Structure 1
């Protein structure tokens, strides 16, 4: 076996590879950019080598620097992780020329499957079901319109070298086809150095289901079941699970065998994924093959009991697969939630900043797993993908995995930047998701405006009221809390038109009793003490976790994806609290504000110009994604507060209207 490997990546995947290598007794080398000098993967590795500035194009993507790091440290092999150079044939070729093993598939397979246009042609030749489309690269917007009309709307415009949702645009009409081609080309050029774009039919009511394959250098290829990845936004996966709640055994077998046949066609070895689009009648169509480890591989590991990174290492060293297809058994259910630095209340736009507080849920009993590459005090920068971590849960069945996920999300305490934990809580609690009734349109259909104030309203105000009352009592009466005590409170939940609940708190040695006006009681068992950010309790035999933030006027309490300002006052002061006026936030409707930190690529209007609703105003680039901002109503531009090329902070003024 290899004695030392280098991980040509960063963040959670680098940490993930290090864990498996360490368990196998293999030493590891990390590489890092200037922005990642203090990163967790650098600390975890046995050695670390600096490879350049923050921009990945000057560090992680420079092949010569990675090879030099291998030579400098004596690393015998390179694990590329995913993203960056993981599907770069030139990188694998350069490693081979330098006598360094590539922990991945052969160059021929990378070339054949790494190009979306060529891979679809190869799949057709191999008899794999493919989506109708035009598989030649196009560059002219009018040609895109002609082809789209020939195929029939809706169509998808895709960058040939794209991945991770980048370089993809859905078009329902001619205008969207023209605009989508330009955007897809720009993102393909920016993210992958390749602006070729092709067009294919968009399957309506689609589900995204992928097959995990694994091959060795001796011609053995097996499939390890499927993963359902239909919960997406902007073609970026958000929730994944294994197995799929939609497939029957016959479809699973047919998809698996087709995936294996395609892998064998290109002499595939190592871990890889064949992705399919599946329609409502379980007809499936080849989408692409990812010749690398997938972000969502942990769910497959939990239901198969296999370590995919370990198997990749063994295959790369030349060992045979230790199992055959008949040995593959799927047991239980696993769910993965991608924890992103983004703002669901601003259309899921990326967020950057420092992790002032970072406390992930405890990993326990193989039922909760956290794959991360960050720690408290770390910074999420604009240079890399905004994923902070992956939260993975396991259960004997799907409902058990979902219930564990809901509890673990409440237990994940992060402050310092905007993130999507509350949104994830909403997703896993949604009735359609619980029933397994989802398509890739799920988020667009159920959350067209992202996470709105209506979504954040507490579904169980009595739980927040009881938690707030106990928190208030134990914070104010710390000496009494150790012996017990009773207090009458009025609790106001919300800001503009708060809900008022009157209750009595009785602090006991073994449990606290909260009695509401009307006689309803809650028995709450908790070890909470003043200063703890999480109120963890058993309420009526059910575990409940409430997150706490202090404000000048009370507490902001969060639970199960909801959030509310909670003011707790002694009952005798309730009349005064009712007289407190509500102060509305300032009206910023006359301004176009930057929804995220980023680069102002262009301003599409001039001072004095009249604009119509829906008209493009400006484009801001962040995380290599172009974000087009449009007018929400008719108006006249009075002042341009920023110009193309400016670096913008969140909420910075760009345009002012009269």
Structure 2
């Protein structure tokens, strides 16, 4: 077995590989850029080597710098993680040339499957079902429009060397095909150093279901069942689960066998994933093969008990797979929520900054019989950089059934504390409660169909709202008692805390009576319905674990005047707990009106202005591109929301802007 391996990656996946290597008794080497000097993966590794400036193009994807780090440390093998150089055949071949083992497939397999155009042709030859499309390279936007018209809209414009949603656009007409071609080309060049583009038919009402394969160098290949990855935003997966609630055993077997046939056709070894698009009749079409470990691999590990990173290392060491296809059963259900530094209230735009608070839920077995796992690469006080993918963590839960796994995830998300940056935790929490997700009736269009105007926060139903109101009333009593004990009175007697309160939240007001005893409080509503509340929450606590009528309720707590900010199940609630007289007077107070910024185009995220598409004095139409901002390896095209005339332009290409910096003003 290898004595030392180098991880040619960063963040969460580098930490993940280090954990398995340490369990196997293998020493690890981390590499890091300027932005990652104090990163978690650097602290976890046995050794660390500096490889350059913050941009990935000057550090993590510079092959010579990784090779130098290998030589300096004497690493015998390299695990590439995902992204960066993980599917770069030149990198794999360079390692082979200096006698260092690449913990992944052979370079010819990477070349064959890493190129989406070539992989489609090989898949067709291996009798794998494929999506109709144009398999050749596309020279320019005009040719892209012609091909898209011939294939038939809608089409998917994709980077040949792409992955992770980078360099990918859906076009429904000529204008979108032209615009999408250029954006995909730019993103592909920036992310992969390869701007080749191809086009294929976009299957409507599709599900994204992928098969995990594992092959050794002794001719053995197995599939570890499937993952459902249909909850996506901008082709980037957000929530994954294993298995899929949609597949039947026959379809699962057919997909698995085709995935293994494709792997054998290219002499594949190591872990890999064959992605399929599945329509509503369970017809499936080959999408691509990822010749690396997938972001969502933990859900497969949770339902099979197989450590995929360990198996990759063992296969790279020349060992045989220790199991056969018949040994691989599906045990229970697993969910994964990707926690991104993206603000769902600002159209999921990237957010950067310091994690002023980062408290994941406790990992391991839960009191309800499930399992919580959190793969992460950050820590409290650390920085989220603008240079890399915005992923913060991958929160996973396991339980015997899908319903139970979802419930475990709800609790874990409500327990997860993240402060200091915008993040999508409220959104994924809301999805877990969405009836369509709960029923399993999902497609890759789920987010755009269910949240067409963006995410505005979840609305709690009446039953849950009353439970929250009861909890807030009980918490308020505890806070009031503490406050009176601190303030006291001149004669050293405590001020009596009243029993009658009005709890206002989510546009509702509930008059309540609080009857407290040694073990908790009974909260009676105006309709006479009582709720029994018990908790060990104390004022100042950021997390409240409360029992209401015997049912658990977990909320993140912040103090505001006359109440609390409570966050749970994707809802962000301003909860006021006031005396009846205070509530009466409060109803007469004026609401603060937000300033009108409709005359300005504001930068929606910290980023770099790639180009300004208009001029001063130009009339722009609704939907017209105004500027392009690049952040976290993604191009974001800012468009006009109405017809207007450009009065002035405050930024130029190459400018680095902060959130809400003015880009241009309209008359």
Q: Does 1:574 align with 2:578?
A: no
2:565 to 532, 556, 565: 556
- The verdict on how the C-alpha distance between 1:457 and 1:435 changes in structure 2, with shifts beyond 3 A counting, is closer
1:374 to 371, 378, 385: 378
Match of 1:443 in 2: 447
1:141-166 alpha-carbon deviations (Å, 9 max, x no partner): 22112111211111111110011001
Native 8 Å contact 1:474 1:481 kept in 2: no
Q: Does 1:393 align with 2:391?
A: no
- Rounded to whole Å, the distance in 2 between the matches of 1:294 and 1:230 is 15
Match of 2:110 in 1: 110
Q: CA deviation at 1:456?
A: 4.8
1:613 to 622, 633, 656: 622
Q: Does 1:316 align with 2:325?
A: no
Native 8 Å contact 1:456 1:564 kept in 2: no
Match of 1:489 in 2: 501
2:413 to 400, 409, 421: 409
Gaps of 5+ in 1: none
- Rounded to whole Å, the distance in 2 between the matches of 1:21 and 1:485 is 58
- Rounded to whole Å, the distance in 2 between the matches of 1:294 and 1:163 is 10
Q: Helix, strand or coil: the match of 1:137?
A: coil
Q: CA deviation at 1:479?
A: 7.8
Q: Does 1:468 align with 2:472?
A: yes
Q: Does 1:265 align with 2:268?
A: no
Q: CA deviation at 1:476?
A: 2.7
Q: CA deviation at 1:509?
A: 2.4
Q: Does 1:231 align with 2:231?
A: yes
Q: Helix, strand or coil: the match of 1:219?
A: coil
Q: Does 1:342 align with 2:345?
A: no
Gaps of 5+ in 2: 487-493
Structure 1 ranges of 4+ moved more than 6 A:
479-485
Q: CA deviation at 1:19?
A: 0.8
1:268-315 alpha-carbon deviations (Å, 9 max, x no partner): 110000011111111111111001000000000010011111111111
Match of 2:632 in 1: 623
- Rounded to whole Å, the distance in 2 between the matches of 1:298 and 1:624 is 25
- Rounded to whole Å, the distance in 1 between the matches of 2:564 and 2:617 is 45
Match of 1:585 in 2: 594
Q: Helix, strand or coil: the match of 1:166?
A: coil
- Rounded to whole Å, the distance in 2 between the matches of 1:438 and 1:37 is 41
- Rounded to whole Å, the distance in 1 between the matches of 2:98 and 2:560 is 59
- Rounded to whole Å, the distance in 2 between the matches of 1:344 and 1:139 is 36
Native 8 Å contact 1:481 1:507 kept in 2: no
How many pairs were matched up? Answer: 654
Match of 2:176 in 1: 176
- Rounded to whole Å, the distance in 1 between the matches of 2:456 and 2:483 is 41
1:51-94 alpha-carbon deviations (Å, 9 max, x no partner): 11111111111112212212222211111110011111111111
1:12-59 alpha-carbon deviations (Å, 9 max, x no partner): 111111111111111111111111111111111111111111111111
Q: CA deviation at 1:608?
A: 2.2
Q: Helix, strand or coil: the match of 1:644?
A: coil
- Rounded to whole Å, the distance in 2 between the matches of 1:81 and 1:276 is 22
Q: How does 1:637-648 map to 2 (within 5 A)?
A: 637-648=646-657
- Rounded to whole Å, the distance in 1 between the matches of 2:473 and 2:651 is 47
Match of 2:358 in 1: 358
Native 8 Å contact 2:5 2:79 kept in 1: yes
Q: CA deviation at 1:175?
A: 1.2
Q: CA deviation at 1:222?
A: 0.5
- Rounded to whole Å, the distance in 1 between the matches of 2:593 and 2:265 is 64
Q: CA deviation at 1:120?
A: 0.5
1:98-138 alpha-carbon deviations (Å, 9 max, x no partner): 21111111111111100001111111111111111111110
1:385-427 alpha-carbon deviations (Å, 9 max, x no partner): 0010001001111000001101111111111011101100111
Q: Could you state the TM-score of these two structures normalised by the residue count of structure 1?
A: 0.97
Q: CA deviation at 1:515?
A: 1.4
Native 8 Å contact 2:623 2:640 kept in 1: yes
1:605-644 alpha-carbon deviations (Å, 9 max, x no partner): 2222222111111111111211111111112222222222
Match of 2:490 in 1: none
- Rounded to whole Å, the distance in 2 between the matches of 1:274 and 1:612 is 42
Q: Helix, strand or coil: the match of 1:555?
A: strand
Q: How does 1:40-79 map to 2 (within 5 A)?
A: 40-79=40-79
- The verdict on how the C-alpha distance between 1:105 and 1:529 changes in structure 2, with shifts beyond 3 A counting, is same
Q: How does 1:588-599 map to 2 (within 5 A)?
A: 588-599=597-608
1:352-407 alpha-carbon deviations (Å, 9 max, x no partner): 11101111111131611100000100111110000100010011110000011011
1:198-253 alpha-carbon deviations (Å, 9 max, x no partner): 11111111111100000011111110000011110100001111111011100100
CA RMSD of aligned residues (A): 1.7
Match of 2:514 in 1: 505
Q: Helix, strand or coil: the match of 1:163?
A: coil
Native 8 Å contact 1:458 1:562 kept in 2: no
Match of 2:611 in 1: 602
- Rounded to whole Å, the distance in 2 between the matches of 1:458 and 1:609 is 48
Q: CA deviation at 1:553?
A: 5.4
Q: Does 1:32 align with 2:36?
A: no
Native 8 Å contact 1:547 1:559 kept in 2: yes
Q: Helix, strand or coil: the match of 1:148?
A: helix
- Rounded to whole Å, the distance in 1 between the matches of 2:316 and 2:294 is 17
- Rounded to whole Å, the distance in 1 between the matches of 2:306 and 2:519 is 43
Q: How does 1:531-542 map to 2 (within 5 A)?
A: 531-542=540-551
